[in-house]
Amino acid sequence: MAQKETVERILDAAEALFSERGFAETSLRTITSTAGVNLAAVNYHFGSKKALIQAVFERFLEPLVADIERRLSELEQQPEAINVESLLKVLSSAIYEVHGRNTNRATAFMRLLGLAYTQSQAHLRNYIAQRYGETFQRYAGLLKPALPGATDQELFWHTHFALGTAIFTMSNFDALRAMAVNDTGHRGSVDFIVSHLTGFMAAGLRNASHPHR
Amino acid sequence: MAQKETVERILDAAEALFSERGFAETSLRTITSTAGVNLAAVNYHFGSKKALIQAVFERFLEPLVADIERRLSELEQQPEAINVESLLKVLSSAIYEVHGRNTNRATAFMRLLGLAYTQSQAHLRNYIAQRYGETFQRYAGLLKPALPGATDQELFWHTHFALGTAIFTMSNFDALRAMAVNDTGHRGSVDFIVSHLTGFMAAGLRNASHPHR
DNA sequence: GTAAGTTTCAAACGATCGTTTATGGAGGAG
DNA sequence: CTCCTCCATAAACGATCGTTTGAAACTTAC
């Protein structure tokens, strides 16, 4: 096997295993044996397990954030005012486009994003915040005029409510779909779930301040 | 120290440490040294680490679920139709009452609930589902007529969207309030956050199916 | 073909993990 | 006092973890 392949085989195996079990629960030995490479290859090519975790996220986030930036620029050049739904659609569309019809890959990515928040990996949160903070701030700057009447305090909390909705759903995507089969008889198509998730977030963002409409 | 105290000292330390770091990241040695008891005490009194995790949740969930059941019975005896807000208030009020003004305890509990979903602890999810499944189903049965027009599929996903919003917010409560100070200058009172969180969830539950109202 | 640099490999390292064992003290019952 | 049960304690067990080592295999360049 060529030398370049080793790195990608490790990243593929780590990505799948991390998303299934979490970071602490996945050993380097499981990763390397799944990837079919030697145990020492991880420390040779990446330096440490922490660096491997960051590399997995970088491979995922780099094209995604680039696509988000591109879509935000498109949105800004349109003459009409930017509304909440179009901003939420930027995110869902970017995930669709970057990872295509490969739902396994997309749900794995979602679970990883959730784990980044939940698991105690301070180094990972720092890395993400430092590397992609500009995009987050640009997005927030566009969201503010899309929600007129909200105070800064309300804007902060409502966006984090919405963020939590998405992250929780994403990180438990497979488990929730399994439960859905038991409870409703339907697994739920990705399109159905994403569109309702977007609707939930948009409705919450608009009306959280006026609970008794 | 009295003999009965050992069990509770372990539960106190485990509860705090699990909520801070997660289950796999917290060793029994850290728990026992924090509790000031011998290492073997965990296996002696609880049998295993898994059983300790379940015991932590049982101590938390038992009084909480009892209080929720009581409030649901009150609600059912009222002549008026049950609406979404009153059902959401049952949950927030129960947490308030059971854990009182002790916000540390309440946020620790919510973080644990979030971890139960996120961390790969199948035994814990099975335990919770088996032990408290009836209450969940009773709650869902009351929620359904409060959201007329929603299909079973929509009901399932919308309630889990709302659940995710609450769990994410509460499990990151302290971190979010710290971020709020930086971004907005206000820490946000508990009442402010809870009322807006409830508003967000209610708005999402009602309008998730009709994103373009 | 030889030398230098890069990657793979088996083996071991020290540390930490959950769990078990053996010992002995504390306290109540007969 | 003796026996028995319950619990705390120190020590060790086997397993697994991330990481390091040193030599072998391979690639590249001259």
Cβ-contact B96, B102 below 8 angstroms: no
pLDDT average, residue stretch B87-108: 83
Task: Give whole-number Cα distances, A164 to A167, B117, B129, B173, in Å.
Answer: 5, 13, 23, 11
User: What distance in Å separates the CA atoms of residue A136 and residue A75, rounded to the nearest whole number?
Assistant: 15
User: Beta-carbon neighbour count of residue B44 at 10 Å?
Assistant: 12
B38 CB inside 7 Å of strand D: yes
Interface test with A, best of B161, B191, B198, B205 (most A CBs within 10 A): B161
Q: How far is the CA of B17 from the C1' of D7 (A)?
A: 25
pLDDT value of residue B101? 65
User: What distance in Å separates the CA atoms of residue B6 and residue A83, rounded to the nearest whole number?
Assistant: 57
Residue B192's closest chain A neighbor by CA?
A154
Residue by residue, pLDDT tens for chain A (213 residues) are: 444 589 999 999 999 999 988 898 999 999 999 999 999 999 999 999 999 999 999 999 999 999 999 999 999 999 999 999 999 999 989 988 887 666 778 778 878 887 887 776 778 888 888 889 899 889 989 999 999 989 989 999 999 999 999 988 887 888 888 889 988 899 888 889 999 999 999 999 998 776 544
Q: Which residue has the higher pLDDT, B125 or A184?
A: A184
User: What distance in Å separates the CA atoms of residue B136 and residue B87, rounded to the nearest whole number?
Assistant: 12
Phi then psi for A81, rounded to 5 degrees? -70, 145
pLDDT value of residue A98? 80
Question: How does the average pLDDT of chain B come out, rounded?
Answer: 88
pLDDT value of residue A174? 80
- Min mean pLDDT across B107-121, B134-148, B181-195, B198-212 is at B107-121
- Of the candidates A123, A42, A208, A93, which has an alpha carbon nearest to the alpha carbon of residue B204? A208
Examine the pLDDT at B68 and tell me if it is beyond 60: yes
| A71 near B CB under 8 A | no
Examine the pLDDT at B181 and tell me if it is beyond 60: yes
In the numeric block, which tokens belong to residue A205? 């963002």
Residue A127 C-alpha, separation from nearest chain B C-alpha, in angstroms:
17
pLDDT value of residue A210? 65
Q: Classify residue B3 as exposed, middle or buried by CB count within 10 Å of its CB (0-12, 13-18, 19+).
A: exposed
Examine the pLDDT at B1 and tell me if it is beyond 70: no
Which of the four pLDDT bands, split at 50, 70 and 90, describes residue B2?
very low
Residue A207's closest chain B neighbor by CA?
B203
Q: How far is the CA of A29 from the C1' of C22 (A)?
A: 35
Interface test with A, best of B83, B152, B160, B197 (most A CBs within 10 A): B160
Percent of chain B residues past pLDDT 70, beyond the cut: 94
Residue A196 and residue B209: Cβ atoms within 8 Å? yes
Q: Which positions of strand D lie within 7 Å of protein CB atoms?
A: 6-12, 16-22
* Minimum-distance CB partner of A186 among B153, B193, B202: B153
| B112 near A CB under 8 A | no
Question: With contacts defined as CB-CB under 8 Å, which chain B residues touch A119?
Answer: 22, 25, 118-119
pLDDT value of residue B120? 62
Residue B203 and residue A211: Cβ atoms within 8 Å? yes
SS3 of A30-87: the string is HHHHHHCCCCHHHHHHCCCHHHHHHHHHHHHHHHHHHHHHHHHHHHHHCCCCCCHHHH
Q: How far is the CA of B155 from the C1' of C18 (A)?
A: 42
